[in-house]
Amino acid sequence: MILPPQTLERAWGRDHLRLHRHLRRQPELLPPGANLLLAVSGGQDSMALLALLVGLRRLHGWRLQLWHGDHRWRPEAAQQAAQLACWCRGQGLGLTIDARDQPAAASSAHTEAQARAWRYERLEAQALAQGCSHVVCGHTANDRAETLLLHLARGSHRRGLASLRPRRALGSSGLQLSRPLLIFDRSDTGRICQQLQLPVWLDPTNSDLRYSRNRLRQTVLPELETLHPGAARRLGATAERLACEHDTQHEWLRVALQWLAADPDGLDRARLTGLQRVNQAAALELWLSSQLGSSITACQLDALLERLQQGRPPGRWDLAAGWQLRWDRTRLVLVQPEPAD
């Protein structure tokens, strides 16, 4: 069904009010008058996001641009993209469609990460081309719960557990990536699509249990919801609390690193190992990530700290991209990779 062009803009319900109040409390998510680029897959979450923002557009003064990415994994994907574009035109909305030049095989072990990287790369380019300040995605509390569970299983640090935040930088261009629907769960977005009679284009790969996130979505979370109804929303709230705690700790760790610095290039080993073990790990992880732009796993960090304790001999530890951590009895230093000939 194609609704009359003004139907979504005139729609108003409790979900619009809920999102409106949320944005009033956190205006940095989608600032009034901003030019927004919405990522629209055609699934129920992105369609619910689109409908809510169109309904709130005049109240907040936004300009809305729409983007759809076709990974070319499925033969029907191009037809679905064309149907989505037709529906958007019926609503008076333009849609930019990007198709991937070299589609990855759907069975590739790295497909999920590659697809995500391609989407964000194209979203950033499109946002810059259209003068947008924010890219908006339809992630819900379920997505955040899935990410939290995946990172728990991998033994992630608190920063990983606090991921999928409501807002983060996208690239180095000053763009912001916003997720205003994290206060909703997937049952909410399904209800919104039904109430507003929104079309939804299903992606069969979302049911493919070869993908770890799909297995969580299809098996683990439903079991948790059966045991504890509302589990996804509470897990999402837990991730938010962890994010706030991480930010607070991060500020204090910055102060602590100034005290731990043996010189501009290293850390005082005695001061570092004199801290409680959990604080050693937090300080060292922050120092390494700030220097290298990437982190190490919790298992690697534990093994490294074991070798750094007082009484242990000098040593070295190989890091990503050819970097190396070296230490003697008094200090730790990072050594850059040797230049290629």
Residue that wins the pLDDT comparison between 205 and 103: 205
Residue range(s) in the chain whose domain bears CATH number 3.30.465.60: 264-335
Q: Residue 335: helix, strand or coil by DSSP?
A: strand
pLDDT tens digits along 143-184: 999 999 988 888 777 777 777 899 999 988 889 999 999 999
Contacts of 255 (CB under 8 A, 6+ apart): none
Q: Bridge-partner residues for 201, per DSSP?
A: none
pLDDT band at 339, cuts 50/70/90? Answer: low
pLDDT tens digits along 241-271: 888 888 888 889 999 999 999 787 899 999 9
Cα separations in angstroms, 297 against 239, 279, 301: 19, 16, 6
CA nearest to 165, candidates 148, 149, 150, 153: 148
pLDDT at 336: 85
Q: Residue 90: helix, strand or coil by DSSP?
A: helix
Best CATH choice for the domain 7-236 from the list 1.10.150.120, 3.90.1170.50, 3.40.50.620, 3.50.50.60: 3.40.50.620
Would you give the distance in Å from CA 316 to the centre of its chain? 33
Residue that wins the pLDDT comparison between 319 and 338: 319
Fill in the DSSP letter of residue 320: G
DSSP string, 169-198: EETTTTEEEE-GGGGS-HHHHHHHHHHTT-
Contacts of 6 (CB under 8 A, 6+ apart): 92
Query: Which architecture, in CATH terms, is 264-335?
Result: 2-Layer Sandwich (3.30)
pLDDT tens digits along 220-244: 899 999 999 999 889 988 888 888 8
At residue 48, what are phi and psi to the nearest 5 degrees? Answer: -65, -40
CA nearest to 47, candidates 233, 191, 183, 175: 191
pLDDT at 49: 97
Sheet holding 95-99, edge to edge: 95-99, 63-70, 35-39, 134-136, 175-178, 167-170
Alpha-carbon span 176 to 127, nearest angstrom: 10
Q: How many CA atoms lie within 13 A of 240 on its CB side?
A: 15
Residue range(s) in the chain whose domain bears CATH number 3.40.50.620: 7-236
pLDDT tens digits along 111-129: 777 888 889 999 999 999 9
pLDDT at 123: 94
